[in-house]
Amino acid sequence: MFSVYQKQYLLIWRRGIQAGVIVAFMSFIVLTGCGQKRIEIREDLPPLPPVPTLIAPGDELYIEFFNNAELSNEHVVRPDGKVMLQLIGEVQASGKTPGDLTREIEQRYEGLLRQPKVAISILNQPEQVVYVAGEVIAPGQVPLRERISIIQAIMQAGGFDTRRADMSRVMLIRYSSGKRHMQTYDMKALLDGKDVLGGTTFLEPGDIVYVPKRMSAE
């Protein structure tokens, strides 16, 4: 069965509260008085900044060179996050905004072209997903249509299987530049109001959230 805090979180989730309010909820303060816990929800937190559009593997880009039209071309971002450009070779595109990539390409072409001026358009961006695995109700892909946190992704996967899940050792696995990065988060502390890290750590396309099994679970 869900704890009091999980039920409160699920109620907020079902009402469609957006990420900024979710984070505000995660910032609650637990006070002890008369043998009971009282929850105060802070509502004065600033709104979250807008989510930038990030280039991801599989995206179709049109890179236009204003003063060198012969270099203008369409490019599909490779699984390793790179594109291949004439004269300068491979450029890391994944994880950058079109503006950031534009500036990098212009800098790379300095000395090779006269007044390099570039514009980048995203022609097609396949649906981006994250993966939730382990001891959740409905493991699988979760669409990344907006910025979501680790706990939000878990709730979209049906929530924890509370009979088996070790909520204190939830792992975030991220692949970047060919390397695997892993971080552990204590979601039990989050739901108990003792830690907000898992509620404010946001996911990127391709991330894997893994909920391990409790050692004592059957």
Q: What is the rounded average pLDDT for all residues in the chain?
A: 78
Of the chain, the percentage scoring pLDDT greater than 70 comes to 72
Do residues 64 and 138 both lie within one domain?
Answer: no
Beta bridge partners of 211: 134
166: domain CATH number is 3.10.560.10
Domain count, the chain: 2
Residue-level pLDDT at 32: 37
Residue where a domain terminates, one of 97, 124, 151: 124
107: domain CATH number is 3.30.1950.10
Tell me the pLDDT tens digit for each residue of 1-35: 444 444 444 444 444 433 333 333 333 323 334 44
- Work out the average pLDDT over 207-216: 90
Residue-level pLDDT at 196: 66
Query: Is there a domain that residue 218 lies in?
Result: no
Residue-level pLDDT at 129: 87
Vertex 124, ends 94 and 172: CA angle to 5°?
40
Q: How many CA atoms lie within 13 A of 63 on its CB side?
A: 26
pTM over the 0.85 mark: no
Q: How many CA atoms lie within 13 A of 27 on its CB side?
A: 12
Question: What would the DSSP string read from start to end of 48-61?
Answer: PPPPPP---TT-EE
66 φ, ψ to 5°? Answer: -65, -40
- Work out the average pLDDT over 159-178: 88
Do residues 67 and 82 both lie within one domain?
Answer: yes
Residue-level pLDDT at 9: 44
Vertex 24, ends 19 and 26: CA angle to 5°?
95
Query: Is there a domain that residue 216 lies in?
Result: no
* Composition of the chain by helix, strand, coil, percent to 5: 25, 35, 45
Residue where a domain terminates, one of 76, 109, 124: 124
For residue 188, the enclosing domain spans: 4-50+128-211
Q: Is the pLDDT of residue 120 over 70?
A: yes
